[in-house]
């Protein structure tokens, strides 16, 4: 079974997508057709609620994701998204827990994709982590550098702020995604290269090797080019997968076109297990068992 933990859908017909982003809608129906082409059984659908992300103006939010997943319950799994900057009353901690409880009752199994451009250890983010840990809802993050324009939780080279949060909130599962996360496989990156797609040999193991070993609540979302390129650039990627097979989840980050080619991460994992570069156990865990563990159910 293949469970894709990172997809998005758009609203049926949003003028922002057509006129500004120059994209066509990518609806739940199109996503399922794409899943059939790619051989994916189920997909997690992630809403976007963080306005610094331009896709926020066309990618479906919480209620649209929930309603569309209810139309296809055997194929689609909803997550919710709560911007940590949301204005709350004086009882902010209890309010955010109640809000997440509502989304969980509506079927949401986790939180993300989190793209708010705040330091990942910001006090407003910490409210969310505490509530997510209490409710056993994993959080998917897009990470960015503080000097880069765009969206994503902010951390410096070496992910020191993330490590502080992993230690402070051991009951909260953090799933990392994007170049600024996956490039930390390599110890020889700098503040510029960490934001790009880096290729070539990994001569020295980077911070992710230590963070994954030390914190069982850290997971990797290997969707998009960032995960695939970082893992496939060097044979050490197979070693990382095997060593941390309990902490990696398959994803694609698909939401733009039915005609896009099959994601390279799929063929990479298939070839890796077929050629015994990773074990069958690692393959099964990454493609579905790890997500089922986080979700607390079998599909």
The pLDDT tens digits for 6-59 are: 999 987 666 666 666 667 788 999 999 999 999 999 999 999 988 887 665 667
Q: Which distant-in-sequence residues (6+ apart) come within 8 Å of 5 by Cβ?
A: 44, 140, 175, 221, 223, 249, 250, 251, 291
> Is the CB of residue 194 less than 8 Å from the CB of residue 184?
yes
Domain ranges of the chain: 3-295
- Count Cβ neighbours within 10 Å for each residue of 265-285 and write b for 16 or more, e otherwise: bbebbeebbeeebbeeebbeb
Pure H helices in 20-175: 28-38, 62-71, 92-105, 123-135, 160-168
Rounded to an integer, what distance in angstroms lies between the CA atom of residue 187 and that of residue 183?
9
Mean pLDDT to the nearest integer, 209-213: 98
70: helix, strand or coil: helix
Q: Is 200 a residue whose pLDDT tops 80? A: yes
Tokens (6 digits) for 220:
């990797």
The pLDDT assigned to 146 comes to 86
pLDDT tens by residue, 93-111? 678 899 999 999 999 999 9
The sign one gets for the Cα dihedral 293, 6, 49, 178 is positive
pLDDT above 90 as % of the chain:
76
**Residue 15 is inside which H or E element, if any?**
helix 15-19
- CA distances to 31, 108, 109, 115, 121 from 151, in Å: 24, 23, 23, 5, 16
The pLDDT assigned to 91 comes to 65
DSSP secondary structure of 222-249: --HHHHHHHHHTSTHHHHHHHHTGGGEE
Instruction: Look over the chain and give the mean of its residue pLDDT values, rounded to a whole number.
Output: 92
- CA distances to 100, 132, 210 from 268, in Å: 36, 32, 24
Q: Taking each helix axis from N to C terminus, what angle separates 207-214 and 236-243, rounded to the nearest 10 degrees?
A: 10
Q: Is 122 a residue whose pLDDT tops 80? A: yes
The pLDDT assigned to 255 comes to 75
Rounded to an integer, what distance in angstroms lies between the CA atom of residue 168 and that of residue 175?
16
The pLDDT assigned to 148 comes to 77
Mean pLDDT to the nearest integer, 60-76: 94
Prediction pTM value: 0.94
Domain 3-295 has CATH 3.20.20.140: yes
């Amino acid at each position: 079974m293949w469970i894709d933990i990172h997809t998005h859908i758009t609203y049926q017909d949003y003028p922002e997508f057509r006129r500004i982003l120059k994209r066509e809608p990518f609806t739940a129906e199109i996503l399922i057709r794409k899943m059939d082409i790619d051989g994916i059984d189920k997909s997690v659908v992630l809403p976007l609620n963080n306005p610094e992300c331009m896709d926020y103006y066309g990618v479906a939010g919480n209620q649209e994701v929930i309603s569309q997943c209810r139309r296809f319950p055997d194929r689609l799994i909803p997550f919710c998204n709560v911007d940590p900057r949301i204005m709350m009353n004086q009882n902010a901690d209890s309010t955010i827990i109640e809000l997440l409880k509502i989304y969980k009752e509506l079927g949401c199994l986790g939180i993300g994709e989190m793209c708010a451009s705040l330091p990942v250890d910001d006090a407003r983010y910490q409210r969310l982590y505490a509530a997510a840990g209490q409710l056993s809802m994993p959080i998917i993050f897009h990470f960015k550098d503080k000097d880069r324009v765009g969206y994503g939780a902010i951390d410096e080279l070496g992910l020191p702020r993330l490590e502080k949060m992993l230690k402070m909130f051991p009951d909260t599962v953090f799933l990392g995604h994007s170049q600024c996360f996956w490039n930390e496989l390599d110890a020889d990156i700098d503040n510029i290269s960490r934001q790009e797609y880096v290729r070539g040999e990994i001569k020295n193991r980077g911070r992710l090797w230590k963070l994954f070993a030390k914190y069982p609540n850290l997971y990797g979302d290997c969707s998009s080019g960032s995960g695939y390129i970082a893992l496939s650039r060097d044979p050490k990627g197979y070693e990382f997968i095997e060593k941390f097979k309990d902490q990696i989840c398959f994803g694609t980050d698909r939401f733009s076109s039915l005609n896009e080619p099959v994601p390279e991460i799929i063929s990479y994992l298939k070839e890796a297990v077929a050629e015994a570069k990773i074990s069958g156990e690692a393959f099964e865990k990454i493609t579905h068992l790890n997500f089922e563990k986080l979700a607390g159910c079998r599909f």
